[in-house]
Amino acid sequence: MKRFFIVALSFLFLTTAGFSQSSASTITKTKSSVLQPASPESVGFSSDRLKRIDENINTWLKDGRLNGCAALIVRNGKIIYNKAFGYDDLEKTKPIRTDNIFRIASQTKAITSTAIMILYEEGKFLLDDPISRYIPEFAKPQVLDKFNAADTTYTTVPSKSEITIRQLLTHTSGISYAQIGTKEANAIYSKANITAGLGVEKGRMLATDMKKLGKMPLLHQPGEKWTYGLNTDLLGYLVEVISGMQLNEFFRKRIFEPLGMNDTYFYLPATKHNRLVTLYEEADKKLVKAKPVTEQNGVFLIDYPNTDGTYFSGGGGLSSTMLDYAIFLQMILNGGEYNGKRLLSRNTVRMMTMNQIGDGNNKFGLGFGITTEKGSSILPTPEGVFEWGGAFSTTYWADPKEKLIGIFYRQLWKTTLGEAGNKFKVLAYQALE
């Protein structure tokens, strides 16, 4: 199971790889209003060519590699495609709806990054401040030197520098994932009882795990390279330390309520449990309902959103609807404002959606994967697109130049239909007149 989680996360990064320099210099302030339905032709799309999305999805359903999904396209603040396909159960008695709630996993990272940048704009810190200034457990970090797989012992060398907030936002700190990261990180974090953050036992707190994480060795020197890991969970704890609020409360008061994101939660209220989409997995080329998976330190892949938990994973804990996440992305496209509520300034948004990690092939901003000039040769998505996805087969992108948002949600674990997200991009762009 660990191996499949690693594959899922690796796929998310590979689909954003090749992202070229880019940036969001084209993000401009637009008249801010709520998202409203409109005809495709009113914003430069072809209704006939959009039908190709339906044809492809229906083929995937017929092939049996997909039980159901939902897709949404927004241009110029207008919803021009909003459809659900298939069923929430293999017995075909409960159709998927466009207002269903999906586990969005790593799509949480962009929202946590936004929370950090809200505090940044309030003058609480600078991005190149060491995290140890605010969380002392991260002072004088050590870097892994030698690791003995037989008994999980290791040696370290002193870090050449301390981890900065910017490095956490860009996943260049040297922190890996627990349970689903490298073999070294899995072993070391497991021994310290640090979790990946999904569905941990009630009573466990983010602060406890993050303080333990501060004493763990880094996988490499800070700033040396990109390593996907618990960076954003640590940023979530930084939000709690600086704001004095638990992360779920900060999200609710500072992001969700101002934007009108009424269906986004770490743990769903009982009244909304029936809207959570069933999680399926692929086994022997057939779809089956995913079973609760309990590994060391606890990973409950299907039950965690419907429990009353205490651990708020800024790296992967949220569940949401397509509309709610489209509202969040529209706020970013609008330069930090939505429906008259400003969360960020346009120049902060510019920083978040531009490359921050050097001249390599893989690009990342402050919470988003970034399409670069080179990356724009792979798919129709042009330079400057920012995007990411989640391990349960959800994906999104936003295009500042075309003022376009695409969201494609499934709830699949261990799927061989990994190319569906990129095919959705192709099908969306080919319908743009």
Q: What is the pLDDT along the chain (433 residues), one digit of tens a residue?
A: 444 344 344 434 434 333 333 444 444 444 558 999 999 999 999 999 999 999 999 999 999 889 999 999 999 999 999 999 999 998 999 999 999 999 999 999 999 999 999 999 999 999 999 999 999 999 999 999 999 988 989 999 999 999 999 999 999 999 998 867 788 988 999 889 888 877 677 788 999 999 999 999 999 999 999 999 999 999 999 999 999 999 999 999 999 999 999 999 999 999 999 999 999 988 888 898 887 655 444 444 557 788 888 999 999 999 999 999 999 999 999 999 999 999 999 999 999 999 999 765 569 999 999 999 888 999 999 999 999 999 999 999 999 999 999 999 999 988 888 899 999 999 999 999 9
Where in the sequence of the chain do the CATH 3.40.710.10 domains occur?
2-117+250-430
Is 3.40.710.10 the CATH classification of the domain at 2-117+250-430? yes
Amino acid 310 reads: T
Residues 109 and 314: beta-carbon distance below 8 Å: yes
Which pLDDT score is estimated for 360? 53
pLDDT at residue 263, rounded to an integer: 98
Q: Contact at 8 Å (CB) between 22 and 371?
A: yes
What does the pLDDT read at residue 195?
84
Phi, psi of 261 (to 5 degrees): -85, 85
Taking a C-beta distance cutoff of 8 angstroms, is the pair 50, 431 a contact?
yes
d(CA 302, CA 312) in angstroms, rounded, equals 16
Residues 6+ away with beta carbon under 8 Å from 338: 32, 34, 259, 327, 330, 331
CA–CA separation, 204 vs 312, rounded Å?
Answer: 9
Classify strands 68-75 and 78-86 as parallel, antiparallel or unpaired. antiparallel
